[in-house]
Amino acid sequence: MSTAPKRVIPAFAPWAEAVPGAPLATVDTLLEWPDDNGYRFEVVERALVRMAGTRPQTGRVTRRLFRALDSYVETHSLGTVTLPDDVYDLEKTGQRDTGLLPDLGFYPSARDKLVEPRRPLPFALDLAMEVAGRLSGRPTSTPRRAATWRREQRWCG
């Protein structure tokens, strides 16, 4: 019989697991949370959740997508392509205390004036890309995560 603690998969964030013993969180909490053995963290509805770090195959796909998208965006001066560690604070989009980190994101250059260097990006992005990995073990997590992004996008007009 295993003595390992049972992973808690929150219904509102099935792509992640709840961080054991974590207090209620805000996006500011997320920015201050210490690194923890290769996990990536997000805040969803005041709950701190974590996901495994990027696996090699997923990293290769993400880098290829980044190079192609970033080259196009730069060539045409369209805006900014963001990386997996860039935090989007979705509070102003109607989702209180939710900070998400897409594998890749894009926002137009008109929003640059809203960006503060040491703060999360204060808006929902215009494009979110999630690279589905075979090791997630939860095949429904990617469609649900995409639905969360779509829900956030509806709030920002």
Tens of pLDDT, residues 65-113: 999 999 999 999 999 999 988 898 888 777 788 888 888 999 999 999 9
Annotated domain spans of the chain: 1-157
Q: Where residue 154 falls among pLDDT bands split at 50, 70, 90?
A: very low
The per-residue pLDDT for 8 is 62
The per-residue pLDDT for 91 is 81
Task: State CA 85 to chain mean position distance.
Answer: 8
Q: What are the tokens at 44?
A: 């969803």
Q: Where residue 7 falls among pLDDT bands split at 50, 70, 90?
A: low
What is the layout of strands, in order, in the sheet containing 104-108? Answer: 79-82, 104-108, 127-129
- Assess whether pLDDT exceeds 80 at residue 150: no
Q: Is 64 left (phi over 0), alpha (psi -120 to 50) or beta?
A: alpha
Tell me the DSSP string of 105-155: EEEEGGGGGG--TTS-B-S--SEEE----GGGS-TTHHHHHHHHHHHHHHH
- Assess whether pLDDT exceeds 70 at residue 9: no
Q: What is the pTM of this model?
A: 0.71
- Assess whether pLDDT exceeds 60 at residue 5: no
Q: Minimal CA–CA distance to 69: which of 147, 145, 122, 128? A: 128
- Lowest mean pLDDT: which of 5-9, 24-28, 92-96? 5-9
Average pLDDT over residues 37-51: 86
CATH fold, domain 1-157, is tt1808, chain A (3.90.1570)
Q: What are the tokens at 32?
A: 């201050």
Q: How far apart are CA 83 and CA 135, in angstroms?
A: 21
More confident residue, 13 or 140: 13
The per-residue pLDDT for 113 is 95
The per-residue pLDDT for 110 is 95
More confident residue, 8 or 99: 99
Average pLDDT over residues 49-54: 82
The per-residue pLDDT for 1 is 47
What is residue 24's three-state secondary structure?
A: coil
Q: How far apart are CA 27 and CA 42, in angstroms?
A: 8
